[in-house]
A and B are shown apart, each in its own frame.
Chain A
Amino acid sequence: MLPVRAGIGLRHPHHREFLERQPPIGFVEVHSENFFGDGGRDLDVLGRVRADHAVSLHGVGLSLGRADGVDPAHLQRLARLVARIEPAVVSDHLCWGAIGDAHWNDLLPLPMTPAALDVVATAVSRVQDTLRRPILVENVSAYVQPDLADAMPEAEFVAQLVARTGCGLLLDLNNVYVNALNHGFDAQTAIDAMPAVAVRELHLAGHFVGPDCVIDHHGDRVCDAVWALHARFVAQHGARPTLIEWDTDLPTLDVLLEEAAHAQRILDRTRESVDA
């Protein structure tokens, strides 16, 4: 379990500074695949970070929704990393990025059909059996919408996935917001439809408003509308571990810590209101 505090995504250019400063932060999240090696400096850094911080291993490559099932070699490398780091939480995405021998290494949109639910539930169960722990599954942003028969709303798909596998949810509020803008629905309504009790972590990030659609580029500060969604969620459902994600045009570590401090103030406000 992650501490119910704000955390930051730790990326390679900040490794050294993070270790030197040891900033007071609730937890640290890294991309699992960046630590799939056998040894070396990056794993050494992660081990040292882990000594003082709760670590979340966030995967981008399991491809839980690929129709032909997760790659056993990829899962074994994840299992080795989990055994080595003993993270507070392990997560990946409700998406696919590969089929057969072809990989696109992206978080591609999944048709929310009963067949896809079978595929994802089988994959999640297999991962959880291998890791001997529940994982969190995250909603992704999408620029196009699959058009297959029998598709169900994402909230229903997710609720059934939780019921069938016992997994938790990693709710990315920016992704819901981006999708709402791109596909013309109300973000708050979509969040309200999600099974909040299963949400174990929240993600916040910045996005880019492009000419054709809004792009979830993780390259800017969290926008006011997404901060409002965050404040509303924690006011309604209680505080959750909240991560600031930043991947492109990485700013200074201080900017990430400022954003995390903002999230922490929202979590603290909720806790005070609960205590009172």
Chain B
Amino acid sequence: MRDALAHWQRAFGAAIDGAATLPALRGDAATVARRFGVYRNNVRLARMAALRNAYPVIAALVGDAFFDGLARRFASTYASTAGDLNAYGAAFDAFLAAFEPAQALPYLPDVARLERAVHVAWSAADSAPFDVARLASLDAAAQAALRFTVRPGAHALVSRWPIAAIWNAHQPDAPHGFDFDAASPPYFALVRRDATRVRVDTLDAAAHALFVASAGGAPLADALDAVVAAAPHADAGVVLGTALRDGWFDDAPAG
């Protein structure tokens, strides 16, 4: 009876999730109950390890003991929805925003969003940067109509907090401490993947506008207009040149 198997499996899963009633198991009840705890523990620890793997900067910011508490609470609240635990924890930012003991560090949810983007970028598709010579080969009308596509894994974030600087300060090879102007939010961060390395940069408003417009499919003329709208004193050509040099855009055929 496949139904009996499904029923038993659902009961087993519910018991891992905390239900008091265990599925049908052989042996005396007290021993079985203690041993069933191994599964509850394994599942919780695996989820906690997945969170630690995806959110190392949050762990560095709050310390190991506090992070374990966060992860334990998250793991008991949020089910896994995929057979690959690397996908676990996407809602960590929302959890942090609502978690009362974490309110003293109001930048944690935005750092978590950044770390999620980094985590995704690590395994994004490989790609080659847009070849600047291609742009030079186009006439002015074709340049204006060109629609860039951003590299797989590239992702822009806006925050009241200097999250890119925070992230970079907590990388293994980072110098100690970092400088930022706390009085000038919003802060713009860009996550992007080179061949095998993820980078996180702080952008200014002009560069952020170029990225967002390009990622949204705007033709280059409109994207450069967006740069000027966001930062009237910016030199849009310089902003574009920096983006091309840093390899924001994909070399795949663009419209």
Interfacial residues, chain A to chain B (CB-CB below 8 A): 33-34, 36-44, 61-63, 66-68, 71, 74, 77, 96-106, 108, 111, 113, 115-116, 118-119, 143-148, 182, 210, 212-213, 215
Contact = CB atoms under 8 A, between A and B. Distances in A.
B171 interface: no
B79 to A, nearest CB: 6
Interface stretch (B38-46, B60-68, B159-167, B221-229): B38-46
Contact of A40 (B37, B47, B193): B193
B126 A115 contact: no
- Listed residue (A102, A116, A119, A182) with the most chain B CB atoms within 10 angstroms of its CB: A102
Given A38-B152, A104-B16, A108-B39, A71 B9 contact: no
A215 B5 contact: no
28 contacts: A33-B83, A34-B86, A37-B123, A38-B123, A38-B126, A41-B122, A61-B83, A62-B83, A68-B6, A71-B83, A102-B13, A102-B81, A104-B43, A105-B43, A105-B80, A105-B85, A106-B46, A108-B39, A111-B8, A113-B5, A115-B5, A144-B25, A147-B25, A148-B5, A148-B24, A213-B34, A213-B35, A213-B38
B38 A215 contact: yes
Contacts of A42: 122-123
Contacts of A113: 1, 4-5
B80 A147 contact: no
Interface of B: 1-2, 4-6, 8-10, 12-13, 16-17, 23-27, 31-32, 34-39, 42-43, 46-47, 79-86, 88, 121-127, 152-153, 193, 195-197
Given A40-B193, A144-B27, A145-B26, A102 B79 contact: yes
A119 B12 contact: no
Contact of B8 (A74, A143, A146): A146
B123 A43 contact: yes
B197 to A, nearest CB: 7
B39 A143 contact: yes
Contacts of B1: 113, 115
B23 A146 contact: yes
Contacts, number: 144
Which are the 5 A-B pairs with shortest beta-carbon distances? A37-B123, A61-B83, A39-B126, A67-B6, A38-B125
B78 to A, nearest CB: 11
A118 B2 contact: yes
A118 B42 CA distance: 28
A161 to B, nearest CB: 15
Contacts of B86: 33-34, 36-37
A38 B34 CA distance: 41
A162 B47 CA distance: 33
A102 B196 CA distance: 33
Contacts of B125: 38-39
B12 A108 contact: yes
B26 to A, nearest CB: 4
Contacts of B79: 102-103
Contacts of B16: 104, 106
A106 B43 contact: yes
Contacts of B38: 143, 210, 212-213, 215
Given A143-B36, A145-B27, A41 B83 contact: no
A111 to B, nearest CB: 6
A242 B35 CA distance: 29
Nearest to A31: B84
A74 B125 CA distance: 18
A103 B35 contact: no
A1 to B, nearest CB: 27
Contact of A144 (B36, B121, B127, B152): B36
A36 B43 CA distance: 21
Nearest to A100: B10
B35 to A, nearest CB: 4
A118 B10 CA distance: 18
